[in-house]
Amino acid sequence: MRPDMPADHTTEAERLLRTAARYPEDQEPLLLQAAAHFELAGARDRASGLYDQLLTAGQDRPSAEHPQLVKALKAANLWEMGHEGEARAIMDGVQLAAPLEPTPWEIIAGCLERHDEPEAAHDIFTEALNLLLTPGEEVPYATHALLIGRHRTRRVLGLPHDAWDALADKVNPTSVPLDELHDPKRLWALGSDNPDELQAEINRLRAELGSYRTALSRPFPVAVLHWPEAELAELIAAYPPLAEEYPSHEIHLARVETALRELAAAGTPNLGVVTGTVPSYEAFAASEALPPTTASLLPLYATTLAARGRAVPWPPPRNATCWCASGKPYRLCHGAA
């Protein structure tokens, strides 16, 4: 069976649902992955049910950690199901909430773009970038798609280059300039009888495919492990040998930020932070048949959490809450120079 067959997506969605039942603390990212597979399988009603489940809190279901993301995904799915009015209402709510994470903005802008509303999509991309980025400062990896999407809509609308477009060119992951990739005339080239034009289009498509393959080859971020203060105190109290790894909570936080900055400086994309808990770590150590005092388990634990969808993209937008959970904006906390 080909991997893009609907039945294969359904099988993967069911596997993710079983995993979510096994790891209730990871329910949200796992259910979102399952919903994506249901959408690819054409079972959009089942995907919609999972979005509703995440947005409906109950005794055994906490509120969604990223409600605006879930709402954006739900809206895009509803539009594809033919419920345009309901989808627009939800998207308006997401826009009004002004989330400080890029993905909800990317989803609603992409939905408008797919349904032939480039002006509205362009406005969403622009609003998101004005909220999340400060000119002249570092561009978080998670916002690259917003810059590139905005560039694409501007090419369709015939608008001139501006500062955001120049920044999009800098973060472009392909070897082909964005002006070529986003040239509206490319569609005409696909019907050309000129071998040179066809070959040029094949080269552009290969460049795009290469960047997509690179992204797919790393389905979760390179993640660094973060312990909240209370969890770290409990960890050291239970397993004193790990105090060598964590002299103090303040030093631990500084090391996390330093490690991430060094990885970024080395050119590592798609970085993230995962937050550990003592019970989760103990369960992981038991699954590896090793004592929790084994320091080499810590990076493996971080990778496992990232694979289960627990990673938070790093760096966060400058005005978003810092990854360390201090409650301060990143630019005033660990994002300070």
pLDDT digits (tens, 9 = 90+) for 28-67: 888 998 999 999 899 999 999 999 999 986 555 556 788 9
Of the ranges 16-20, 214-218, 231-235, which is most confident? 231-235
Per the listing, tokens 């079983």 go with 18
Cα-trace Rg, the chain? 22
Strand, helix or coil for residue 196: helix
Q: Let me know: does 45 contact 81? Beta carbons within 8 Å.
A: yes
Rounded Cα distance between 21 and 51, Å, is 16
Q: Let me know: does 322 contact 329? Beta carbons within 8 Å.
A: yes
Please give the structure tokens belonging to residue 116. 């032939």
Please give the structure tokens belonging to residue 286. 């038991």
- Burial, 259: exposed, middle or buried (Cβ in 10 Å; 0-12, 13-18, 19+)? middle
Q: Could you give all domains of the chain from N- to C-terminal order, each with its CATH number?
A: 6-216 (1.25.40.10), 222-332 (no CATH)
Does residue 72 have a pLDDT over 60? yes
Buried b / exposed e over 277-308, threshold 16 CB at 10 Å, is bbebbeebbeeeeeebeeeebbeebbbbbbeb
Please give the structure tokens belonging to residue 251. 């030093």
Residues 6+ apart with CB under 8 A from 104: 66, 68, 69, 71, 72, 94
Rounded Cα distance between 263 and 272, Å, is 11
Rounded Cα distance between 144 and 184, Å, is 21
Q: Let me know: does 154 contact 121? Beta carbons within 8 Å.
A: no
**187 vs 244: which has the higher pLDDT:** 244
**How crowded is the C-beta side of 215, counted as CA atoms within 13 Å?**
13
Please give the structure tokens belonging to residue 127. 């609003």
What interhelical angle do 84-97 and 67-80 show, nearest 10?
160
Rounded Cα distance between 102 and 142, Å, is 6
- Please state, rounded to an integer, the average pLDDT across all residues of the chain: 85
pLDDT tens figures, 87-107: 999 999 999 999 988 999 999
Q: Residue range 322-331: average pLDDT?
A: 90
Q: Band of the pLDDT at 133, cuts 50, 70, 90?
A: confident
Q: Band of the pLDDT at 268, cuts 50, 70, 90?
A: confident
Per the listing, tokens 């390179």 go with 222
AA identity, residue 65: E
Q: Let me know: does 223 contact 273? Beta carbons within 8 Å.
A: yes
Q: Band of the pLDDT at 141, cuts 50, 70, 90?
A: confident
If phi > 0 it is left, if psi is from -120 to 50 it is alpha, else beta; for residue 185 that is alpha
Rounded Cα distance between 334 and 337, Å, is 8
pLDDT value of position 185: 72
pLDDT value of position 5: 54
| pTM, two decimal places | 0.70
How many CB atoms sit inside 10 A of residue 244's CB? 9
- Burial, 217: exposed, middle or buried (Cβ in 10 Å; 0-12, 13-18, 19+)? exposed
Angle made by CA atoms 103, 316, 29, in degrees to the nearest 5: 50
Q: Band of the pLDDT at 220, cuts 50, 70, 90?
A: low
**How crowded is the C-beta side of 334, counted as CA atoms within 13 Å?**
26
Beta sheet of 271-275, edge-to-edge order: 222-226, 271-275, 312-314
